[in-house]
Structure 1
Amino acid sequence: MDSTRPRRVPNKSCRPDWREELRTNCMKRVKNDRVHLLWKIRTQGRLPAKDMKTVESAVRNIISDEVQKLKQCVDGKEAQEIDVIWEYQGPQEARPAEFESEDILLEMERLLYEDLREETIRKEIEDLEEQDAYLAQAIFDHMQLSEEGAENAKLWCPVCKQGELRETNNLIRCSLCKLRLDLGEDKRMQITAQVLLTGHVWVECTLHTMRRMQHF
């Protein structure tokens, strides 16, 4: 035989290390599946950053799936070594040979946890913006009512609660009962009338605003 002819290397020997292949496949799955995971968590109404069980469950589901795929492509000895990763229960319970797989799990959990934390922050910002918009609209409505209500709102009599207060020629009177306030030159009466009128308008407008806010 021609000794100069290059030897043919078996296809199996060209196969990359199964540990690196598993890492690559798992990392790719995490990056591809995290959008779906975030959507699933949001629809369940959870707080992602506080639910590490969800992260751990997602990581183990991905590893389980990729382990089964990889075991179909390796020999029996490598398949047994791969099973060690799936039996891994964390650094406190791991056997010495299992620590080499810890970095894979931690890296996957870190990627998912960072995404979930960012999702939580983004959702909190959205909630704050929604609250700010609600308060801004409520303040705007109140100001509008205060301006328009001062001219158009009816002022109900504080005595009979049914008549309307009217002011003419320094005289405040009720349209139904016998309430009469003759302002004249008495400063105290003028102050009382001013408080009655302005305060009554403010109360009426405030109550109206609160009723409107309940329907938002």
Structure 2
Amino acid sequence: MDALHRHRSLYKGTTPPWKETYRRRCMDRLKNSRSRLLDRYRQMGETCSSGASIIVQEVMGEEWTALQSEDQRLPSLWGSGGMSEMFNVMKEYDELAVLEDIQQELMSHEMSIIEEYERNLQFEQQYISSVVEGMDEMQIICPTCHVNNLNVNSYFIACPCGLYINTKKRNITPEALRNLLESRMSEHMGDCLYNPIFSVASNTDSSPNLMISCKVCDYLSIVL
């Protein structure tokens, strides 16, 4: 406890010198842990409590341990209580308010990631529904203009907006196209929260391909 009292006397009434470094590292780790966060969120499903942290305490614990290894004057978090034990140890110290502020900022950012994921998941579900279920007789909404129904036959796929893909000898049916669109959308959504776009691009032999891409995550794939 003497070491903790000495630690307290160093920063009493001042902003701890580790604050910005720790805050920045925690935020960077949280951003880089988006896949882990969303995987955990999907696994938790309906058991996830509103307002509860998913990986924030893990992130704070990991970064505090890294920071403490660089500055032995900082109290260690290792113990049966983890982050909660650290908060109890520091509850009388000025650093507690700093840690709580950082925790709230991280939880807010964590929630924004989840909310964005939910919005894009809803968009994906609605879009796939409109594209692959669409209209009568397996009509499929054009993925590039989102307005017209595609003309899908054994020779080509076309849309009044200008989309034209030669499908001769490729056995592309409306159902096959539906499955391809759904597969690529789901593949992209597994790693990125943002909405992809569809476009037509020529391959090496000048034949057009339907492409799906995302400017945010650099996802790029050929649909057909």
| Higher normalized contact order (CA 8 Å, seq sep 6+, divided by chain length) | 1
Q: Is the helix fraction higher in 1 or 2?
A: 1
With the shorter chain as reference, the TM-score category is 0.3 to 0.5
**TM-score, normalised by the number of residues in structure 2:** 0.42
**TM-score, normalised by the number of residues in structure 1:** 0.44
Q: Is the strand fraction higher in 1 or 2?
A: 2
